[in-house]
């Protein structure tokens, strides 16, 4: 059955890599759009939300669906059949808008943001009971990285999404965030390959100033009719602008509406 092997690896190791999650005919256009988007942000022409290193260099670029960015291919990609077949296999057909951003390399210096799990800041040093409760929450989203050029920047600790951290891992998560962890794995992505992975893994990014990184990170989320509105993530407030919905492909707009109704602004 489709995706059974990938699901088993995802459950056991927290990730899997595939070659067929992007249309080959779309890959070149996505690369060209990512290069343009980076130039727009670096020049200051567009900057809806950009993560920057200490010296102001961009390492993650958001706002890809905005009219100001004027790169509709990013939304087209998120709705494309190759990515949707994996999304539906994991999350079903009832979806609400996910997101996309470009991970890139600062030009002035090497950069890394250190070991972490994608927990809320108040939960990162929780007790065994707190951490295990988080790790066993039902899956409601799916994320991935598509390498537009070869990328070895994402480092993970396979299997760490299912267990409590070790003493050394705690030290790396909270204190010495750039130390090595036994068993760490640099995910080897060739251009056109996609890694699906869970943010519950202990992971970090390591970017080199002299090695180009152009990786498209995407996600989708399950839709729930009983979802409660909440404060919008500051990184996503650009999506509340009146001109965003009309810029999206028509088939994406109902999924945007499901996300939008849950935002308090």
Q: What are the tens digits of pLDDT across the range 116-161?
A: 999 866 577 888 998 999 999 999 999 999 999 999 999 999 999 9
β-strands 15-18, 50-52 pairing: unpaired
- Residues with Cβ < 8 Å from 166, sequence gap 6 or more? none
Domain residue ranges in the chain: 4-260
Arithmetic mean of pLDDT, 38-53: 94
Whole-number Cα distances in Å, 238 to 11, 70, 86, 245: 34, 14, 27, 11
- Judged against a pLDDT cut of 70, whether residue 80 lies above it is answered with yes
Q: What is the pLDDT of residue 23?
A: 96
Arithmetic mean of pLDDT, 193-218: 96
Q: What is the pLDDT of residue 83?
A: 97
In angstroms, the CA 81 to CA 26 distance is 12
Q: Which of 121, 140, 134 is nearest to 227 (CA)?
A: 140
Q: What is the pLDDT of residue 265?
A: 66
Q: What is the pLDDT of residue 121?
A: 65
Q: How confident is the model at residue 224 (pLDDT cuts 50, 70, 90)?
A: confident
Q: What is the pLDDT of residue 162?
A: 95
- Judged against a pLDDT cut of 70, whether residue 243 lies above it is answered with yes
pTM for the structure as a whole: 0.95
Give the 3-state DSSP-derived string for the chain, with helices as H, strands as E and coil as C.
CCCHHHHHHHHHHCEEEECCCCCHHHHHHHHHHHHHHHHHHHHCCCCCCEEECCCCCEEEECCCCCCCCCCCHHHHHHCCHHHHHHHHHHHCCCEEEEEEEEEECCCCCCEECCCECCCCHHHCCCCHHHHHHHHCCCCCEEEEEEECCCECCEEECCCHHHCCCCHHHHHHHHCCCCCCCCCCEECCECCCCEEEECCCCCEEEEECCCCCCEEEEEEEEECCCCCCCECCCHHHHHHHCCCCHHHCCHHHHHHHHHHHCCECC
**What's the mean per-residue pLDDT of the chain?**
94
Q: How confident is the model at residue 31 (pLDDT cuts 50, 70, 90)?
A: very high
Arithmetic mean of pLDDT, 65-74: 97
Q: How confident is the model at residue 38 (pLDDT cuts 50, 70, 90)?
A: very high
Arithmetic mean of pLDDT, 80-93: 96
Architecture of domain 4-260: Sandwich (2.60)
Arithmetic mean of pLDDT, 15-44: 97
């Amino acid at each position: 059955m489709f995706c059974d092997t990938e699901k088993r690896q995802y459950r056991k190791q927290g990730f899997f890599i595939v070659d067929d999650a992007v249309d080959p005919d779309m890959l070149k256009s996505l690369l060209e759009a990512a290069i343009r988007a980076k130039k727009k942000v670096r020049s200051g022409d567009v900057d809806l939300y950009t993560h920057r290193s200490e010296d102001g260099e961009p390492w993650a670029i958001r706002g890809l669906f905005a009219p100001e960015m004027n790169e509709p291919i990013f939304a087209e990609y998120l709705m494309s059949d190759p990515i949707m077949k994996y999304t539906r296999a994991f999350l079903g057909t009832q979806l609400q808008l996910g997101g996309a951003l470009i991970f890139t390399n600062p030009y002035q210096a090497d950069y890394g943001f250190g070991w972490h799990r994608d927990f809320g800041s108040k939960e990162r040093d929780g007790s065994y009971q707190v951490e295990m409760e988080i790790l066993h929450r039902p899956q409601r989203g799916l994320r991935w990285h598509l390498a537009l050029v070869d990328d070895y920047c994402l480092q993970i600790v396979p299997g760490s999404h299912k267990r409590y951290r070790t003493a050394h891992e705690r030290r790396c998560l909270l204190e010495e965030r750039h130390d090595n962890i036994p068993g760490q794995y640099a995910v080897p992505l060739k251009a056109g390959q996609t890694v699906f992975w869970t943010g519950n893994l202990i992971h970090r990014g390591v970017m080199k100033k002299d090695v180009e990184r152009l990786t498209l990170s995407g996600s989708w989320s399950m839709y729930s009719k009983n979802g409660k509105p909440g404060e919008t993530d500051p990184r996503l407030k650009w999506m509340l602008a009146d001109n965003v919905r009309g810029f999206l492909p028509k088939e994406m707009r109902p999924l945007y509406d499901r996300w939008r109704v849950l935002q308090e602004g």
